[in-house]
Amino acid sequence: MFEPVRGKPDFPALERSIAAIWRDGGIYRKSLERRRGAKRFVFYEGPPTANGMPHPGHCLTRTIKDLYPRYRTMRGEYCERKAGWDTHGLPVEVEVCKELGIHSKAEIEAYGVEPFIHKCQESVWRYMREWETLTERIGFWIDLSQAYVTYHRRFVESVWWALATLFDQGLLYQGHKIVWWWAQGGTALSSGEVGQGYREVADPSVYVAFPLLDDEGQPTRRSLVAWTTTPWTLPSNQFAAVKADLAYVVLREAGVADAPEYVIAEPLAATLGEKLKMSFDIVDHMPGTALVGRSYAPPFDTFRAAGRPPVAPLAAGGEAPVAWRVVAADFVTTDSGTGIVHVAPAFGEVDYTVLIAEQARFAAGHGPTLVNCVAPDGTFTDAFGMGSGRFVKECDRDITRDIKARGLLVHQEQYVHDYPFCWRADADPLIQYPRQSWFIRTSQFREQMLANNARIDWLPEHIKDGRFGNFLETNVDWALSRERYWGTPLPIWVCDETGKMEALPSYAAILAKPGVAGIDVFERAKAADPSLSDDLRVHKPYIDAVTYDSPFAKNARMRRVPEVIDCWFDSGAMPFAQWGWPHAGDAEFKAQFPADFISEAIDQTRGWFYSQLAISTLLFGCEATPYPHPFKTCIVLGHMLGEDGQKMSKSRRNYREPAEIFDKYGADALRWFFLAGQPPWTSIRYSERAIRESVPEFLLRLWNVYSFFAIYARIDGFDPASLLATPGSLDHADLACAKGWTPVADRGELDRWMLSEVHATAAEMVERLDRYDHFGAAQRLSTLVDAVSNWFVRRSRDRFWAAGRADAGPGGNRDKLDAYWTLYETLLTIARLAAPFVPFVTEAIWQNLAVAAFGASAPESVHLTDYPLGDATLVDADLVRRMALVRDVASLGRAARAAEKLKVRQPLSKVEVILAAASPTDEAWLAAHADLVCDELNVKQFEICREPDRYITRSVLPDLKKLGPRLGKDLPKARDALAKADAAALLAALAADGRATIPLTGGGAAVIEKEDVIVRTTAREGWAAAESPHAVVVVASQLTPELVAEGLVREVVHAIQSQRKTLDLDFTDRITLGFETPSAELRGALERHLAYVTGETLAESAVFAELPGATSESLDLDGHPLTIHVKT
RNA sequence: GCGCGCGUAGCUCAGUUGGUUAGAGCGCCACCCUGAUAAGGUGGAGGUCCCAAGUUCGAAUCUUGGCGCGCGCACCA
């Protein structure tokens, strides 16, 4: 028997009890066991970092990541869900630094790398409990116990294998480049990391005069005007660049003969005048080529003494000044600035290319060398005394002031632009800086990556060629190394004699080396502190101590390079590293590669989506493993916004904590909001209001139907277990074995309709979910629940309340039994259809309807059943269409009443229906449902209208879709002709011949066939009528005295029912009634219908007198005063 | 600057290969129902489908150009 169901569900409490059932029953494990050996559905978990608190965005990803594995499992596939944690990198180090109150690398070194690493490892698990709680609370089924962890030795060694493989293929190289440098953190960052840190800031923008030199090396009155937004790079100036084919002019303040002269690109001359609010005379013209080769005085003498510029021999013979010369460069534009670019090769990538090009012009070893007065920590060295020891950006103001004092500052303003800051320490601006760094040659694989990408199924589709494709197009080599501490160490050892290198793929490979030493450093640490994790063996500083004999030189040693790697490489390696492959887990890796499905938010395009694709493409190519890999389908989620539509931010407090939502509305409410509220790739506004409002339309409605069923099934003793010995999986076929089961074909129409809707919905949902369209599937499901609640249950109430036992035997009420079976099957099916979406409430329903009813012989959990595919033989499309027509007619009837202010309580004599498209079968069918329509509309008589022309006019419209292609330009004429034509005559002609000819204005004629037109029916004025595209419904608005009397009586019943409710009576409580009214009409009506009144209100008696001790209410019914006394 | 996405009712959003009267939910107003009931239903008001030009017999839908918002990219010296 079913358990009683409370009418007011407490979803959060319910969910906690369901979670306990899953936990205690090991249901997740059983759901896997059930599919062992089946086709695999491969899912990869993109590892979150557990050292930050989970937020609403994670709830969305976890909901989507849960939905599809649950669904595919119910569809019969085997889907392992291995959790993972991202544990390395700057986020962790920065967090630890904050805790220790330190910031710079020097401070970390002072604190000690060893204890620092220990702190990092502990910090990784800081919010583990919150993550685990969230995961269980939102119903995300994933195996946390087998989670991969990027700092684990097994994982690190997999990454080592990948790096060694790339190194051996020459794809991992060390290069001297200008990199984006986090000075405070002392490391370079990858383009992905840099991209995350751009922010709009106002920087100083200065126009600086570079005086041209005369033959003696003395400054002249004429200066180049260069523009920069980084004054701190001026002390390291080496060149000035112009565009060769650009026109330049020399400006002098108008009318001042001895004023300074400025060289500037002609198109920008006017702009400079405006900025300076001065008028200039143009005193000279020249092309860029004329300037090339001229020497100038740099703004600072950091690297150059005053006087004649130093010269050096050229490769081609002769000699030339080494630096502080004008050079030609293509990157010079007139978009902004002056057309003359200050070149500081140390601090800009293009600047650096100028230096390389210049070096090539000079005899080997004589060209310009890179000058740089900035230390790696971002402070000026002693070479630039003015700023020595201070952070460069802080010196901008002093440098500008100094230039101004020396008369070299032409103009100064604020320049607003985007500038990168460190993504984990957002107060630290990045600078471009020359640095030796390790790179992966990803740019060499651009075409392969694009080919791989082309095969991936991206949702939404535009990601493929849009954002992600573009990112691949502009691919640059992956700046892999980090001069940091907590990360996967770069497994490259260098010969301290020859500088030759080799990469090692595993710890075992190190141990196998001759003369290996330094292993003991970790062993000693472990002996001193046995709690030390063995995983740290492969981390700094222990791994740095490990050295071995060089194979390249006698008596030389191999020592590891100091760098660790970008943590994005770790997560990108997870497809194989999660198993420790190739050192372990060969079978697992082969079975679980590539993934069928992954999903993360859009910010992962440059993150995890890219790192996975790049690593996989480089390592596995396309021969052994055809594209796409390592993932086939990827749902890219939109960004989550706060209540105000702005980015979620802790400080702005514009979002509720997930825990708060769970406690108030429950996880299912949140899941349904995410899944059914909008397509997943739109940015979702996470508002409490929206979540709250999503509850009644689906969850509560479903619950109400379920509760309705349980209440009456208990009252009637409908017990499926007593009628069905072996429940099987409670499919339609299983239920059909029940005693007293009526085959669907023999059931009443409403039942056939309901099951038709159920099975059609199932089929549609499967089709949509197979396309990863959960939003569409959810909408379909919502429509179904609405149909059950607002039509099946509504129209079946009488059946459930009818007399007699729900029994197929003699004396039983078979129709009632059918109603129960229909609703039972419907609810069981909906529970399964909705299970991947709202796993808790569906489980609660299943636990009662299946488990409580059948005990151990039924599937233990809804998640251990098969997903309903829909039985096409039970779908009757015609019935569905016609039922929609009845609902339409009922709805129109109510609209017609409303238009005449005739409330439904007032009975009317007749309703007449005119179908837009005359169909004898539909009319017959409607006529057969006269009772239903009369009941819904409270009318006495239903009729298909015999004289439609009284109520309606018809017009004939062209079917544009059919006639458009055929008539083309003549279409408007045809439309006019049809509008003017006599509709009745035209229709008659079409009915008789199947075609008709209409004249076109301006000559000609068109032949119209029956199928080419649409007939529209419009209600005439003056009738209580309402129309839809399918029908016109007219209600008779005339009232007879008897109808009025009945209406009054129903008003009285309504009033009494309201009083019962006010008195908080149970629906079985009996009452006695007393009426007092001076209206003979009302009294007469009541007397005539007294039996009806007492029956409806469960009254044992009714008198026309005051009832002592009764609750009384006086009211006025359409001008008839009445006092009602109710006594319990 | 370049690229991607989005602009539809007061709010949040649907809108299928271009087609006749552009929809839903919430909110609002009115009404109804009441043996699921601190629920439920019906109806109504509310729209220059961001703007403009073009293609077409016909554009919310396709093209181009603007405007606005969000995001991304980075040789902005």
Q: What is the pLDDT of residue A42?
A: 96
Does pLDDT of A154 surpass 90? Answer: yes
- Give the pLDDT confidence score for residue A345 in this predicted structure: 83
Chain B nucleotides close to protein (CB under 7 A) are 1, 3-5, 12-15, 19-21, 25-26, 31-44, 56-58, 70-77
* A293, pLDDT greater than 80: yes
Closest residue (CA) to C1' of nucleotide B14 is A678
pLDDT score recorded for residue A645: 67
Nucleotide lying nearest to A687, CA to C1' measure: B12
Please tell me the distance from the alpha carbon of residue A82 to that of residue A543, in angstroms, as a whole number: 29
Q: Is the pLDDT of residue A1033 over 90?
A: no
- Give dist(CA A486, CA A482) in Å, integer: 10
One-character DSSP codes across A579-616: TTTTTS-HHHHHHT-SEEEEEEEGGGGTTHHHHHHHHH
For residue A708, give the nucleotide whose C1' atom is nearest its CA.
Answer: B36
Looking across all nucleic acid strands, the nucleotide with the smallest C1' to CA distance from residue A705 is: B36
Inter-residue contact A209 to A410 (CB < 8 Å): yes
Report the distance from CA of residue A464 to the C1' of nucleotide B6 in Å, as an integer. 18
Q: Is the pLDDT score of A650 beyond 70?
A: no
User: Distances from the Cα of A879 to the Cαs of A400, A755, A786, A827, A921, in angstroms?
Assistant: 83, 11, 18, 21, 12
For residue A606, which nucleotide's C1' is closest to its Cα? Answer: B72
- The answer to whether residue A1067 scores a pLDDT higher than 70 is no
* Contacts (Cβ under 8 Å, ≥6 apart) of A736: A743
pLDDT at A810: 80
Residues 6+ apart with CB under 8 A from A335: none
Peptide bond into A630 cis (omega under 30): yes
Most confident of A228-232, A589-593, A763-767: A589-593
Q: Provide the CA A569 to C1' B27 distance, Å, integer.
A: 49
CA of A466 to C1' of B65 (A): 22
Residue A269 has pLDDT above 90, yes or no: no
Q: How far apart are CA A542 and CA A417, in angstroms?
A: 44
Between A1008 and A119, whose confidence is greater? A119
**CA-derived radius of gyration, chain A:** 41
Per-residue pLDDT, averaged over A99-109, amounts to 82
Q: What is the mean pLDDT of residues A188-210?
A: 74
The residue whose CA lies nearest the C1' of nucleotide B38 is A8
Distance A1016 CA to B21 C1' (A): 11
Per the listing, tokens 């059948």 go with A854
Distance A1055 CA to B33 C1' (A): 13
| Nearest nucleotide (C1') to alpha carbon of A1060 | B34
Q: What is the pLDDT of residue A1066?
A: 67
How many angstroms separate the CA atoms of A323 and A292, rounded? Answer: 12
Answer yes or no: are the C-beta atoms of A212 and A327 closer than 8 Å: no
Instruction: Report the C-alpha gap between A1016 and A1027 in whole angstroms.
Output: 10
Cα A123 from Cα A104, distance rounded (Å): 19
Provide the 8-state DSSP code for A848.
Answer: I
- Pull the structure tokens for residue A534: 């063995």
Q: How confident is the model at residue A169 (pLDDT cuts 50, 70, 90)?
A: very high
- Å separating the CA of residue A1063 from the C1' of nucleotide B34: 15
Checking each nucleotide's C1' against the CA of A967, the nearest proves to be B57
* Spatial distance from the CA of A687 to the C1' of B28 (Å): 21
Residue A58's alpha-carbon distances to A52, A66, A440, A495, A645, in angstroms, are 11, 12, 31, 46, 18
Average pLDDT value for residue range A201-229? 82
In order of A206, A212, A250, A252, A310, the CA distances from A259 in angstroms are 20, 15, 12, 6, 29
Question: A1019 and A1010 in contact (C-beta within 8 Å)?
Answer: no
What residue has its CA nearest to the C1' of B72? A467
| B26 nearest neighbour residue (CA to C1') | A693
Nearest residue to B16 via alpha carbon and C1' = A776
Neighbour-count burial of A574, counting CB atoms closer than 10 A to its CB (0-12 exposed, 13-18 middle, 19+ buried)? buried
Which residues of A are the active-site residues? 47, 86, 568, 604, 608, 647, 650
Q: Are A326 and A353 in contact (CB under 8 A)?
A: no
| pLDDT cut 70: percent of chain A above it | 97
The predicted pLDDT at position A644 comes to: 67
**Highest mean pLDDT out of A871-880, A886-895, A989-998:** A871-880
Please give the Cα distance from A739 to A151 (Å, whole number).
Answer: 61
Round to whole Å and give the CA distance between A124 and A47.
13
- Residue–nucleotide distance: A60 CA to B61 C1' (Å): 31
- Indicate the average pLDDT of chain A: 85
Distance CA A843, CA A835 (A): 7
Instruction: Quote the pLDDT of residue A832.
Output: 95
Instruction: Provide, in whole angstroms, the distance separating residue A777's CA from nucleotide B66's C1'.
Output: 38
| Å between CA of A1117 and C1' of B41 | 23
Interatomic separation, CA of residue A778 and C1' of nucleotide B24, rounded (Å) = 14
Closest protein residue to B27 (Cα–C1') = A693
What is the token pair recorded at A1083? Answer: 């009294």
Average confidence (pLDDT) over A166-191: 82
A1028 CA to B44 C1' in angstroms comes to 16
Nearest partner of A480 among A572, A598, A369, A545, judged by Cα: A572
Per-residue pLDDT, A191: 63
Residues A477-494: tens digit of each pLDDT: 888 888 889 999 999 999
The yes-or-no verdict on residue A580 having pLDDT over 80 is yes
Q: Which residue is nearest to nucleotide B41 (CA to C1')?
A: A790
- pLDDT tens for A680-728 read 887 777 777 778 877 777 888 899 899 889 988 888 889 999 999 888 8
Separation between Cα atoms, residue A864 and residue A214, nearest integer Å: 89
- As a whole number of angstroms, the distance between CA A753 and CA A876 comes to 7
By C-alpha to C1' distance, B34 is nearest to: A1057
Q: Which nucleotide is at minimal CA–C1' distance from A471?
A: B73
The neighbouring-strand residues paired with A261 are A222, A252
Q: How far is the CA of A1061 from the C1' of B37 (A)?
A: 9
Spatial separation of the C-alpha atoms in residues A279 and A524, rounded to whole Å: 77
Residue nearest to nucleotide B36 (CA to C1'): A708
Are A211 and A219 in contact by the 8 Å Cβ rule? The answer is yes
Q: Which amino acid does the sequence have at A1096?
A: E
pLDDT digits (tens, 9 = 90+) for A907-945: 888 888 888 777 788 888 888 888 888 888 888 888 888
Measured over all CA atoms, what is the biggest interatomic distance in chain A, rounded to whole angstroms?
130
Q: Rounded to 5, what percent of chain A is helix, strand, coil?
A: 45, 20, 35
Per-residue pLDDT, averaged over A294-322, amounts to 80
Residue range A66-83: mean pLDDT, rounded: 96
What's the one-letter identity of residue A687?
A: S
In A156-257, which ranges are E strands? 172-182, 187-188, 198-213, 219-228, 239-242, 247-253
**Whether residue A958 has pLDDT greater than 70:** yes
Closest nucleotide to residue A347 (Cα to C1')?
B77
Average pLDDT in the A869-888 region?
86
- What pLDDT, in 10s, does the model give residues A543-578? 999 999 999 999 999 999 999 998 889 999 999 999
Q: Closest Cα partner for A1047 from A948, A994, A975, A1119?
A: A1119
Asked if the model's pLDDT at residue A806 lies above 70, the reply is yes
Nearest CA to A166 out of A627, A547, A565, A580 is that of A565
Q: What are phi and psi of A212, to 5 degrees?
A: -75, 150
Over residues A51-62, the mean pLDDT reads 84
Distance A687 CA to B7 C1' (A): 21
Nearest nt to the A968 alpha carbon by C1': B57
How far is it, in rounded angstroms, from Cα A178 to Cα A189? Answer: 11
What is the C-alpha separation between A95 and A98, in angstroms, rounded? 5
**A961: nt with nearest C1' to CA:** B19
Nucleotide at minimal C1' distance from the A337 CA: B77
**Residue A298, preceding peptide bond in cis (omega within 30° of 0):** no
